[in-house]
Structure 1
Amino acid sequence: MKQMFACLYGPLFFGGFIGAALYWMATPGAGAGGLLVLFAVALLVSFLAEWGLPYEPLWNRSQGDRLRDCLHALVNESLNAVGLLALPGLVALLAHDGLWPRDWPLWGQLALAIVIADCGITLAHYASHRWAWLWRLHAVHHSVQRMYGFNGLLKHPLHQLLEASAGLLPLLVLGIPLPVAQLLALAIAIELLLQHSNVDMRLGPLRWVFAWAPVHRFHHMKYGRAGDVNFGLFFNLWDGLLGTAFYRHDYAMRQGDLGIGSRPDYPVAYLAQLLEPFRAQHYSAEPRVPEALRRPVRPAAAD
C-alpha cells in the first residue's frame, strides 16, 4: 500500500489540485476565493502525507524555523496577491493586442502559461547561482536545513520579485487574462509544495520530466558548486538544455546534507534573513563532496 502511495502521490497531488482548479475557474461566477481554499486543502494534504510517509523523519521536526517559514509564506503570498490585483493594469500597459490565444481551452492556456513562466523563472534561478548579488538574495532560500513542502515558499521578497518578474513579464506582453494568471499562481504554489516535499515519493520515469522533490533535493545539497543542478521549477527540460540535470538513485539526501556549506552560521530568524544579503559576507571552506555526488568533469578541448 505504501509503495503504491509513493508512486501515485506526485501525479495525483499535481493533477488533482490543478484539475480541481481548472474545473472551479470554468464554473460561471467562480472567483479566486475558491483557489485559496484549494491551496489550503493542498497544504493540509501535504503535511498529512509528510507525516504518514516521510522521506526523512527528522525533517518533520521543527528546527526553530516554523515561525520564520510562516512569516516568509505570509509575506511572499501577500506580494503575489498584490501582483494579481495589479495585473489588469499591467496587461493594459504592456500587452500587445491579439497575441494571447484566448480562444484556446482554459487548460491549454494554463499549460502555455506554465511553460513560458517556467522558462523565465528557471533562467532567473540559474542566474542567481552565477551572479554574486543575486546569490546573496537567493541564499535565503538555500539556508534551509530540512526540506518539507512549506519551505518552498521561503524566499527573500526581493528575490521573489525578480524571479516572478522573469516569469511573468513575457506573459504580460502576451496579454495573459486574469483567470489564467490566477490559475498559474496556484499551479506554482502547488508545484513548490511538491518540489520541496518530505514525502517519500517514487517518480520512476517521471523524474526525467517533473522537477519534484526526489530531483530537487540535490539542488539543496550543501556541497558548494555540486548543488548547481536541477534549476527547473516545473520541468527538467531546461536543465537538460543547460547541462545541469543531475540525479542519483543510489544516494539518499538526509539530515546534514542540506544548507549552505560555507555558511553554517547563516541566520535563522526572519528579520535577520531579510538583512543578511546587505551585510558583509564571510565564507568558510566548503565541505567535501561525497563521492557518490561527484559529477564527471569533461576534459578540456585540445588546442
Structure 2
Amino acid sequence: MRTILSLSSWPLVFFSGLLCTYLAFASERPMFGFALVYAGEVLLLFLLERYIPYERRWLLSDGEMANDIAHTLLTKGLVQLVALSGAVFPMFTAIVLLPLTGAQLDVWPTTLPMPLQVVLGVLIAEFGLYWSHRIAHERLFFWRFHALHHSVTRLWVINTGRFHIADSLFKVALSQLPLFLLGAPLPVFLWLGAVTAFMGILTHCNVDMKTGFFDYIFSTPRLHRWHHSKDIREGNTNYGENVVFFDLLFGTYFNPGRPSSTDIGIRGQIAKSFLGQLAQPFRKDGIRQILGRSTKSG
C-alpha cells in the first residue's frame, strides 16, 4: 500500500484538485467551493505526511507553526486581498482589479479553447515567477526578504505560505501584470490561482512521492527539496513555481540521481516572532543576521 501511495499520491492530489476545482467553478459559489477543495487537499497531504513521510524528523515541531500560519493567513493575505488563504491571489485580484484595468492591450487569444488559454496563462505568469524567484536568490537586496521562506528547517504542507510581504509583492508584480495588460479573461486567472495553489502545497509537503517523468514537466516535491538545500550549488536551482520549462531553458534545472536533500535552511538567523520577521529585513542589524554576518561591526 505504501508503494502504491508513493507512486500515485502526486497525480492523485494534483489532478483530483483540478477536477474538484472544475466542479467548484461551475457552482453558484465558486470561491467558497474552491476554498473547500483547497482545504480538503491540505488535509489529505497532512494525513499522507504522517503515513508515508519523506523525512520522519520533519514530523517533529520546529516551533514555527504559529508563524507559518500567520504568514499564510495575514502577511500573504494582505498582498492577495484575502485573509482566507495565501493561495488564491489571482482569483481575487481578477475579480477586483480586472474591471478597473484600462491599460489592457486586448490581444489575448480568446478564441482558443479555455484549456489552451489556461496553459498559455500559466506559462506567461511562470516567466515572471521564475525570474522573480531567481533574482530573489541572486541579489542580496531581494534575498533579505526571500530568506524568510528558506529559513525553515523542515518542509511540510503548513509552511507553504511562509513569505515576507515584500517578497510576495515582487512575485505578484512580475507574474500578474503581464496577464492584466494582455487582457486575459477572468477564467484564466481563476485557473492560474488553482494550479499555483495546488503546486504550492505539493512542493512543500513532506510526503514520499515518486514523481518520475512529472519531474521534467512540473515543479515537484523532489525538485523543490533540492531548491531548499543549504548547499548554494543545489539551492540556487529549480526556480519554477508551477512548471520547470524555464529551468530547463535557462540551465537551472537540477535533478541528480540520488534522494533529494533534507539538509535545508539558511546560514543566517531569522527573528523568532512574527512581527520581528516582518521588520527584520528593514534593519541594518537584521539584514546582517539574515546574511549570517556579525552584527558587532558596522
Q: Shared topology, TM-score over 0.5?
A: yes
Q: 1:109 to 1:26 in 2, by over 3 A?
A: farther
Q: Which residue of 1 aligns with 2:264?
A: 258
Q: 1:252 to 1:86 in 2, by over 3 A?
A: closer
Q: Structure 2: 5+ residue runs without aligned partners? A: 83-88, 294-298
Q: Aligned ranges for residues 15-164 of structure 1 at < 5 Å?
A: 15-27=15-27, 29-75=28-74, 76-82=76-82, 84-88=91-95, 90-91=97-98, 92-97=101-106, 99-164=107-172
**1:279 correspondence with 2:263:** no
Mean CA deviation greater in 106-115 or 77-86 = 77-86
User: In the aligned structure 2, how far is the partner of 1:272 from the partner of 1:77?
Assistant: 18
User: In the aligned structure 2, how far is the partner of 1:15 from the partner of 1:77?
Assistant: 25
AA paired with 2:53?
A: P
Q: Is the 8 A contact 2:49 2:207 kept in 1?
A: yes
CA-to-partner distance for each residue in 1:226-247, whole Å, 9 max, x for gaps? 4111101111111111211112
Match of 2:272 among 265, 268, 274: 268
Alignment TM-score, normalising by the size of structure 2: 0.87
Q: Is the 8 A contact 1:22 1:107 kept in 2?
A: no
Q: Is the 8 A contact 1:88 1:178 kept in 2?
A: yes
CA-to-partner distance for each residue in 1:192-222, whole Å, 9 max, x for gaps? 0011110000011221222111111011111
**1:5 correspondence with 2:14:** no
AA paired with 1:217?
A: R
Mean CA deviation greater in 83-92 or 30-39 = 83-92
Q: Structure 1: 5+ residue runs without aligned partners? A: 286-303
CA-to-partner distance for each residue in 1:236-274, whole Å, 9 max, x for gaps? 1111112111122324423xx1100x21x3223221111
User: In the aligned structure 2, how far is the partner of 1:226 from the partner of 1:15?
Assistant: 29
Question: Percent of aligned positions with the same letter in both sequences?
Answer: 31
How far off is 1:179 after superposition?
A: 3.3
AA paired with 1:64?
A: G
User: In the aligned structure 2, how far is the partner of 1:111 from the partner of 1:69?
Assistant: 30
Match of 1:180 among 161, 173, 188: 188
**1:241 correspondence with 2:249:** yes
How far off is 1:30 after superposition?
A: 4.3
Mean CA deviation greater in 240-249 or 122-131 = 240-249
How far off is 1:9 after superposition?
A: 1.0
Q: 1:108 to 1:24 in 2, by over 3 A?
A: farther
How far off is 1:116 after superposition?
A: 1.3
User: In the aligned structure 2, how far is the partner of 1:33 from the partner of 1:94?
Assistant: 30
Q: Is the 8 A contact 2:126 2:240 kept in 1?
A: yes
**1:165 correspondence with 2:169:** no
User: In the aligned structure 2, how far is the partner of 1:78 from the partner of 1:34?
Assistant: 21
How far off is 1:284 after superposition?
A: 4.3
Name the SS of the counterpart of 1:94 in structure 2.
Answer: coil
Q: Is the 8 A contact 1:22 1:106 kept in 2?
A: no
User: In the aligned structure 2, how far is the partner of 1:197 from the partner of 1:58?
Assistant: 13
How far off is 1:72 after superposition?
A: 0.7
User: In the aligned structure 2, how far is the partner of 1:220 from the partner of 1:61?
Assistant: 18
Q: Is the 8 A contact 2:65 2:158 kept in 1?
A: no
Mean CA deviation greater in 72-81 or 124-133 = 72-81
AA paired with 2:246?
A: W
User: In the aligned structure 2, how far is the partner of 1:105 from the partner of 1:268?
Assistant: 48
User: In the aligned structure 2, how far is the partner of 1:37 from the partner of 1:63?
Assistant: 28
User: In the aligned structure 1, how far is the partner of 2:259 from the partner of 2:188?
Assistant: 39
User: In the aligned structure 2, how far is the partner of 1:70 from the partner of 1:268?
Assistant: 14
User: In the aligned structure 2, how far is the partner of 1:217 from the partner of 1:86?
Assistant: 30
Mean CA deviation greater in 66-75 or 183-192 = 183-192
Q: Is the 8 A contact 2:234 2:254 kept in 1?
A: no
User: In the aligned structure 2, how far is the partner of 1:22 from the partner of 1:194?
Assistant: 19
Alignment TM-score, normalising by the size of structure 1: 0.85
